[in-house]
Amino acid sequence: MMIKIQKHIEIVCSTRPGLSSMSKQSREAILVVLAKHYTNVSITIVNNLAALEAVVARKPDLVFLGMKFIPMYPALNIQDDRKIWISQYLAAYDIASTGSNHNAHKLELNKDLAKQCALDAGLMTSPYYVARQNQPIPADDYLTYPLFIKPTNRGGGTGIDSCSVANNAGELLAKVTSIATDFQADSLVEEYLPGREFSVAILKNELTNEYSTMPLELIAPLDMNGARLLSEEVKSADTEKFVEVTDLGIKQQISSLAINIFHAMGARDYGRIDIRLDKSGIPHFLEANLIPSLLQGYGNFPKACLMNTQLDYEPMILNIVRLGLARKTYSDAEFVTNNLEAKSLELADITLMPLLV
């Protein structure tokens, strides 16, 4: 009989639309794995501040993050600019959590900020601008059609469809208007990359502290316009193909770009970086997912781990957990305390007011 490790782990996610990065099936699969190895493992639904405060009161040894934030004002949901970032809130109480901290999560959630982070680091990403809701579309003389349009703050292919590639100003306006109407979101407008698409899983080795980069190629079915887009429909139906990257030159290029993006964003432990080639075959950063789907047999992350290093689902989950348990959180807590100063009023308003209990 296996002797379980005396640890209290809570898998934290939400049932509110737009807040959770973890499906019911995924969190239950993670629970099954962790319950085999640890004495006290549970799933906790956090839809509001009271539920998060209850997690803190229980003082788990580790929170397995399946979400990034909760809104300060629940009615605003994802639209709330004053977000309570879960990893930062937990760190203020010296509670460890899996994966990246709130700074990286904030970059991930705002795709335009992530792209600017890449550019600031001298890394390749397609030229872009942001079309704000209810505002005129910026002059795009410096961008070349076709353009690709998606919401700035959604994942999972949300808002991406056959109309996401615009060949003229009329198609651009129609898609930007659609995103503003359907999702109350700004639009990220970037030059369309017509080449192959890749997803690179990144995972830290708990023993060596080195990172493994594990790419796979994603091949979406052709849409009505002859483009291969990983739309919400394609991802939900799981109709894209996953192919091992055997070309060593391409593999090295996309792996190098992925790990450099990961570090530029300040990410840690694990995550996924999506990359697409331009018409000349040069890799460009698309977006990051720092709480990627961990659903066995579905998510790109576990598929990439298995395809590249034969790392199966259970040891992959345990690796992520041990990284979280091993990490000290005092530096994050110190960061929160320092941000009580007026120079960081924005973060203080968002995250520190609820901490004053």
Task: Give the pLDDT confidence of 34-61 residue by residue, as tens digits.
Answer: 999 999 999 999 999 999 999 999 999 9
Judged against a pLDDT cut of 70, whether residue 356 lies above it is answered with no
Average pLDDT of the chain to the nearest whole number: 88
**φ and ψ at residue 46, rounded to 5 degrees:** -115, 105
pTM, two decimal places: 0.88
Share of the chain above pLDDT 90, in %: 69
In whole angstroms, what separates CA 99 from the centre of its chain? Answer: 10
- Top-confidence range, 93-107, 238-252, 293-307: 93-107
Q: Does residue 345 lie within any of the structural domains? A: yes
Q: How far is CA 210 from CA 62, 248, 270, in A?
A: 22, 20, 11
Q: Does residue 322 lie within any of the structural domains? A: no
Confidence of residue 76 (pLDDT cuts 50, 70, 90): low
Name the domain count of the chain: 3
Q: Does residue 318 lie within any of the structural domains? A: no
Does 172 lie in the same domain as 136? yes
Encoded tokens for 77:
């949901």
Pairwise CA distance, residues 160 & 158, whole Å: 6
Q: Does residue 320 lie within any of the structural domains? A: no
Q: Does residue 136 lie within any of the structural domains? A: yes
Judged against a pLDDT cut of 70, whether residue 131 lies above it is answered with yes
Check if the beta carbon of residue 307 is closer than 8 Å to that of residue 297. no
Does 254 lie in the same domain as 112? yes
Judged against a pLDDT cut of 90, whether residue 234 lies above it is answered with no
Pairwise CA distance, residues 47 & 238, whole Å: 28
Judged against a pLDDT cut of 70, whether residue 145 lies above it is answered with yes
- Residue range of the domain that includes 208: 107-124+193-311
Residue 6 DSSP code: E
Residue 304 DSSP code: H
Q: How high is the pLDDT of residue 155?
A: 79
Q: Please state which of the ranges 24-38, 279-293, 316-330 shows the lowest mean pLDDT.
A: 316-330
Does 10 lie in the same domain as 56? yes
